[in-house]
Amino acid sequence: MSSILSSSIGKKLMMSLAGLFLVVFLIVHLGINLTLIFSESRETFNRAAHFMGTNVIIRLMEFVLFGGFLLHMFYGVFIQLQNWIARPKGYKKENYSQTSFFSKFMIHTAAIITVFLVIHLFDFYFRAKFFGDVPLVIYDGKEYHDLGLLVVEKFKIAGVVIFYVVCFLFLAFHLLHGFQSAFQSLGLNHRFYTPVIKAIGIIYTILITAGLILIPVYIFFWM
């Protein structure tokens, strides 16, 4: 088992599984955040955020999430270093197909996304968890952190909105190749299934990216 995981195929398999887990997380994350702009008040968002932050099972899943991200990042960097060592001078003629174009810059977009995530976590997650300077709001006699207000105030700053939108576009760039590549690493490479998976990946990327961009843009202009 250890020899399989330490092999090149094993590393790609682990990176793919971790990546697909993060793909599912993005759907949940987006769904909760969209309540901030589609609900009449911030209550739904704040209640959902409170549930995510206090439920025991969700708290355990946080460790799985961080572990999945670190695993995905570790194997991604490791595989990229292996590729650079095996091909230090590169090919004389590059293949500029769509797949090779996106795969060529996966490590670069990953680095940008990692920096963005660190900033994002400090903006909201760590501030709420450890710094305790989040305003409180009361629903049905119970106190909740008003994380919705925190998000709204942040996205009222033009520079922040531009930064987030640009980072979301880099995320889309990363997802376009990563979605299909993950299934390919799992052995789902077929003349019929591969185009279907590729189409699903494109649709998923468009919907997730559009939803993520909608939130800061909507808040900035209309809230």
Segment 11-64, tens digit of pLDDT:
667 667 777 778 888 999 999 999 999 998 999 999 999 998 888 888 888 787
Domain assignment present for residue 63? The answer is yes
The pTM of the full predicted model, rounded to 2 decimals, is 0.82
Q: Is residue 50 within 8 Å of residue 145, measured between CB atoms?
A: yes
The confidence score (pLDDT) of residue 219 equals 97
Domain count, the chain: 1
Give the pLDDT band of residue 98 (cuts 50, 70, 90): very low
In a domain, 136, yes or no: yes
Question: Which residue range is the domain that position 25 belongs to?
Answer: 2-86+97-222
Tokens of 204: 């998923």
What is the pLDDT at residue 129? Answer: 74
Tens digits of residue pLDDT in 129-159: 777 678 899 999 999 999 999 999 999 999 9
The amino acid at 14 = M
Find residue 136's DSSP bridge partners: 145
Residue 18 falls inside a structural domain:
yes
User: What band does 96 get if pLDDT is binned at 50, 70 and 90?
Assistant: very low
Sign of the Cα pseudo-torsion (212, 173, 122, 129, in order): positive
Residue 193: CB atoms within 10 Å: 11
92 within some domain: no
User: Nearest-CA neighbor of 215 among 175, 159, 155?
Assistant: 155
Query: How far are the Cα atoms of 25, 104, 141 from residue 93, in angstroms, in the given order?
Result: 38, 14, 67
- Is residue 46 one of the residues assigned to a domain? yes
Q: Which CATH number fits the domain that encloses residue 75?
A: 1.20.1300.10
Task: Give a yes or no: residue 106 inside a domain.
Answer: yes
Note whether residue 91 is domain-resident.
no
Residue 128 and residue 115: Cα distance in Å, rounded?
Answer: 19
Asked whether the beta carbons of 72 and 22 are under 8 A apart, the reply is yes
